[in-house]
Structure 1
Amino acid sequence: MDRINDWRLKFFLWIGLPVIAVMGLAFAAPDLVPAWQAKSGGGVPGTFTAVSEQCGRRNCSWYGDFVADAGGAARKHVLLYDAPDGLARGGTAPARDTGAGKGVFAAAGGSTWLLVTGFTVAAALAAVGWVVLVVTTVRRRRRDAAAIDRLAGTPVQR
């Protein structure tokens, strides 16, 4: 840690790590358990009806309504994670509601669980790394201050 002189590395360590930690834990961690439940076939089975498609640069996402097979209140304007290819407006797909905040999961499965797990682990590692950096820096500064005080012959204040 004593050799961290490059300003870009300092910026990443002091600003980037906490931002990665907060963003990952805020956005990915809440959907970690629902994604794993969907991967293992858990949740409430039902039908997703595609209403609108939103596309970005590399992929498109389907939003629509989910109705459980057992009845109950429908979830309106939810995202279908792992949407099957060929889904069109008005089309339906079997899905599972596992309690994810923004959507339901396609019953056929997909890789969303892996993506959510990866982001959550990266966020946790960034948080741990930042805490270690802060603790190491504080200890080093206290040690350096104590050494300066010893050399100067003045008592150490803590």
Structure 2
Amino acid sequence: MTAPKPAKPLSKGGRVFIWFMIVFVALIGLGGGVALIADGVAGRDALADGPVGTLIPTDRRCSEESCSWIGEFVSEDGAITRTGVELRDAGQVGRTGPMPASIDNVRLHDHPDRPAAYAIDYDPVPKIAGGAFLLVFCLATAALLVRMVRRYQRRAGSSEPTGSVPRPW
């Protein structure tokens, strides 16, 4: 059996790229995970104590995966009216499906930037669980990458002459 070759130190460009990727993975986890959790919590709060009303669809907004209704929300007592409200529910809205005249029994989450209405069949648990999973997975991946890079640098650094200054990364 032959001894493994000593690892070559990473170039400066290689170190920059690896650390950029570590920060990128951590930010994806933080941003995406927190956004999914916040959306799930907003739906849960709206279903718990949001004003009940009717959504009158005026348009549909489609992404690559799905579509949702956009319209005007009017509370049951008529005191609250919001335009540009997006409906979030468990049903699938097709790109070519007919637009309903109104959708009753929805609850409003009145966010100043993007108000949303939630149908009674909306389940916030998948969003909250998915956000928590994304957050934990990406942060754990970033931590493992940091550990791997440091271990590699230590192995590559052992072949440096004694008396050299250790690298901080």
Do these two structures clear the TM 0.5 threshold for a shared fold by scoring above it?
yes
What SS is found at the alignment partner of 2:121? coil
1:94 is aligned to 2:102: no
Q: What is the CA-CA distance between 1:132 and the residue it aligns to?
A: 0.7
Q: What is the CA-CA distance between 1:48 and the residue it aligns to?
A: 1.5
Q: 1:38-89 deviations in whole A, cap 9, x for unaligned?
A: 45x3222222222223456775421111123354442202111117689844
**TM-score, length-scaled by structure 1:** 0.64
What SS is found at the alignment partner of 1:148? coil
Assess if the C-alpha contact under 8 Å between 1:35 and 1:116 holds in 2: no
Q: What is the CA-CA distance between 1:92 and the residue it aligns to?
A: 3.3
**Structure 2: where are the runs of 5+ without partners?**
1-17
Q: What is the CA-CA distance between 1:116 and the residue it aligns to?
A: 1.7
Q: Could you tell me how far apart the structure 2 residues matched to 1:55 and 1:157 are?
A: 53
2:166 corresponding residue in structure 1:
157
Query: For the aligned residues, what is the CA RMSD?
Result: 3.6
1:45 corresponding residue in structure 2:
52
Displacement over 6 Å in runs of 4+: 83-87
Q: Could you tell me how far apart the structure 2 residues matched to 1:64 and 1:79 are?
A: 7
1:119 is aligned to 2:130: yes
1:33 is aligned to 2:23: no
Assess if the C-alpha contact under 8 Å between 1:38 and 1:105 holds in 2: yes
Q: What is the CA-CA distance between 1:145 and the residue it aligns to?
A: 4.9
2:144 corresponding residue in structure 1:
133
What is the percentage of aligned positions where both structures have the same residue? 24
Larger helix fraction of residues: 1
The number of residues matched between the two structures is 141
**TM-score, length-scaled by structure 2:** 0.60
1:78 is aligned to 2:91: no
- Bigger radius of gyration: 2
1:110 is aligned to 2:122: yes
Q: What is the CA-CA distance between 1:121 and the residue it aligns to?
A: 1.8
